[in-house]
């Protein structure tokens, strides 16, 4: 399968714990996006990478969130001191050119 992959698919954690998600984009896609989707809503933009450079972050991305793409390939999204409001589906997408974004299956986070 050469699509976007994300790991883990599901994560349950206790409030206050740190979690890290991984996204592997489609090979040679230099642009990578993170979105968050809460129940009953459409995805909302969180952040964007072009190669290893993080070029934009949404206001939704508080100081507890950090994203990296160290070698311009896979990306990680870390949430520190999780809160119940962080419960959501975290989606990763990649694109070679910006016209069409291809999404991964998402990581569903539940914070108890």
Partner 1 sequence: GEDVEQSLFLSVREGDSSVINCTYTDSSSTYLYWYKQEPGAGLQLLTYIFSNMDMKQDQRLTVLLNKKDKHLSLRIADTQTGDSAIYFCAESIFGNTGFQKLVFGTGTRLLVSP
Q: Which residues bind partner 1 (CB under 8 A)?
A: 4, 6, 31, 33, 35, 40-45, 48, 50, 55-56, 91, 93, 98-106, 108
Tell me how far apart the 2 most distant CA atoms of the chain are, in Å. Answer: 39
The residues, ordered by sequence, that sit 6+ positions from 75 with a Cβ below 8 Å of its Cβ are 22, 23, 25, 32, 34, 49, 67, 68, 69, 92
Q: Which is nearer to partner 1, 10 or 81 (CB)?
A: 10
Asked if the peptide bond before residue 8 counts as cis, ω within 30 degrees of 0, the response is: yes
Q: Which is nearer to partner 1, 18 or 110 (CB)?
A: 110
Q: How far is the CB of 88 from partner 1 (least distance, A)?
A: 13
Q: Which is nearer to partner 1, 80 or 95 (CB)?
A: 95
């Amino acid at each position: 399968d050469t699509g976007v992959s994300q790991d883990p698919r599901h994560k349950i954690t206790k409030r206050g714990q740190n979690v890290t998600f991984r996204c592997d984009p489609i090979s040679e896609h230099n642009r990578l996006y993170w979105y968050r989707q809460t129940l009953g809503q459409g995805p909302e933009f969180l952040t964007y990478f072009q190669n290893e450079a993080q070029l934009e972050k949404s206001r939704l991305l508080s100081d507890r969130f950090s994203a990296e793409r160290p070698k311009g390939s896979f990306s990680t999204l870390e949430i520190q001191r999780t809160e119940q409001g962080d419960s959501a589906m975290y989606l990763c997408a990649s694109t070679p050119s910006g016209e069409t974004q291809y999404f991964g299956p998402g990581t569903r986070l539940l914070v108890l």
